Amino acid sequence: MKDKKFKLIRSRLLLPLDEKIGLETRIEDGYVLIEGSLVREAGRYTDEIGKRIIRDCGSELEVIGASGVPASEKEIPCLDGVVLPGFVKAHGHDHESPIIGVAKDEPLTEWLDHAVNVFTGFLNENREDLEKRFGVSANTLTYSKAKLDDIYYGITTALTHHCNFNKYHLAELVEANARAGTKIIIAIGGQDRNYDPRILDTVEAAVKRMDDCAAEFSGRDRTWIIPGPDQVFSNSAQMIQALKEWADANGTLFHMHSSEEPNTTAWFYSEYLTSPVEYLHRVRALDENTILAHQVNNTPVDLAVLQATGTNIVHNPLANTILGSGMPPVIEMLEKGIPVAVSTDGSGSADSQNMLAAARLASQYQKAFHQNARLLPAQQVLEMVTTVPAKMLRLNTGSLAPGRDADLILVDLARPNLTPTRGDNVVENLIWASDGSEVRWVVGNGKVLKDDYRFLSLDEEKIKGDIQRLSELLIEYRRTSKEIKATGARKE
């Protein structure tokens, strides 16, 4: 079916998350009119508005949740759901879904060696065999599954930290995102020390990779390219400096993991006689264009440096708790005006891409830790997965206002766990009662990507079948593969 120029969605509740009308505005019987890839109107629906839209848009109007062009406003259904902006995932990795549940109950560096590095080694050693078996590269399978997960949970924009062997497989990720219809910022990973020796770079090679990838992929199919050296411990001062200079020269963001778990951070201190944050500051890598993932362990000096430099933080509570890394001082960061977004991290460490679960855990943990129920209310953590990361990533998304990208989701309110939902408790129910699976419609850049729970841009059954088989082959390989002990503090 030809994509229509105008799309209309009308729902029982609408959360525009628009600063102009107030981020907390909750609209009953709301609508969003989309023109092309942008929001044209959003607000409270009336029959008059319905009549006008039908008159103005004519046969170019598609009404979401209805069949055919409506003859009158009576044919515009009010869907039993809440429409809100698509989630913006500010830190994740798109190759990890086959390692969900692998090397669990292990801390970060052991998990990296026993799950992530084994998996990337498996893909590399069996590249040709796997490609023959599946008809596409195994990397393509993992990236397609990541996009399926994103759309399943209502994520329309992702910053993918493309680490390890993935840095050699940009084309497949760009292609997977293009097919899915989502938006992506790809932070190209790199290492030149304390890591699996098969993937160590020189500074020249890393900078050349940035030049080549930006020339080939920047601006294509809702794709942006930025430097993303993997970890502070796995990159020398020269490497970090060179890549940050590349980011500044090209006007891009800069992304890194930092201070993720206490042992690695303590080991870093003993090895380099400074904290990761001070180290980054010394090489002038911290400013308002830098986004650090995690930042769990902080000295008072670290927090002051983050505040003074305007550095952004992405908090990943699912991964931080599962890996036993601890949790960052989110409340202190927010009090200092440090921007904090909430994200999931990769599927392997977070075990899902459920952004609402991440938002819930972020809130729940801080309330319990500080013994203060007033901290991080539902509205605030909802903003931390929509408007805050959109601003951090400098993208025209995260709100439903005229001129914004038409990235939206409808969460089904007919589910038992979300009943009763009214205007006064809808945000609270999204955070506290949703299980993440109620995302019934997803629109990305004006295109319907999920229609009444059905994936339109991706072949759900094929992707699931391929990933299941790939994960089984990985587990066979893992039984006999040599143990890797190459990461950070575990380096031999």
Question: Residue numbers of the site for Zn ion (CB under 5 A)?
Answer: 345
Using the minimum distance from each CB to Zn ion, give the nearer residue, 107 or 423. Answer: 107
d(C-alpha 260, C-alpha 349), whole Å? 12
Phi, psi of 35 (to 5 degrees): -120, 115
Minimum Å gap between C-beta 384 and Zn ion is: 17
Of 319 and 406, the one with the shorter C-beta distance to Zn ion is: 319
Which of residues 230 and 407 has its CB atom nearest to Zn ion in the complex? Answer: 230
Q: Which residue has the tokens 């008809």?
A: 135
Distance from C-alpha of 375 to C-alpha of 333, rounded to nearest angstrom: 13
Find out whether 13 and 421 touch, Cβ atoms under 8 Å: yes
Q: Which is nearer to Zn ion, 172 or 345 (CB)?
A: 345
Residue 185: strand, helix, or coil: strand
Shortest Å, Cβ 230 to Zn ion: 9
CB closest to Zn ion, residue no: 345
> Shortest distance, CB of residue 344 to Zn ion, whole angstroms?
9
Cα–Cα dist 77/73, whole Å: 9
Q: Are 341 and 358 in contact (CB under 8 A)?
A: no
Q: Is the dihedral of CA 213, 219, 220, 222 positive or negative?
A: positive
Cα separation, 338 vs 220, in Å, equals: 32
Query: 62 vs 96, which CB is nearer to Zn ion?
Result: 96
Cβ 30 to Zn ion shortest distance, Å: 35
Q: How far is the CB of 119 from Zn ion (least distance, A)?
A: 14
Instruction: State the minimum distance, in angstroms, from the CB of residue 294 to Zn ion.
Output: 7
Strand partners, 18: 22
Residue closer to Zn ion by CB (options 108, 418) is: 108
Shortest CB 341 distance to Zn ion, Å: 13
Q: Which is nearer to Zn ion, 10 or 294 (CB)?
A: 294
18: DSSP letter: B
CB of 349 to Zn ion, least distance (A): 7
| Residue 146, CA distances (Å) to 93, 162, 484 in order | 8, 12, 25
Helix (H) or strand (E) segment spanning residue 443: strand 439-444
Least Å distance, CB 176 to Zn ion, is 18
Q: Is 331 exposed, middle or buried (0-12, 13-18, 19+ CB in 10 A)?
A: middle
**Angle CA 145–177–4, to nearest 5:** 115
Q: Which is nearer to Zn ion, 33 or 285 (CB)?
A: 285
- Within 279-343, strands assigned E span 290-294, 312-315, 340-342
Quote the CA–CA distance of 6 and 140 in Å, as a whole number: 32
By beta-carbon proximity to Zn ion, the closer residue of 140 and 166 is: 166
Rg of the Cα atoms in the chain: 22
Q: State which residue, 73 or 345, has the beta carbon closest to Zn ion.
A: 345
Count other Cβ atoms within 10 Å, centred on residue 399.
Answer: 27
Tell the smallest beta-carbon distance from residue 465 to Zn ion (Å).
27
Say which residues have a Cβ less than 8 Å from residue 464's Cβ, sequence separation at least 6.
145, 148
Q: Are 65 and 423 in contact (CB under 8 A)?
A: no
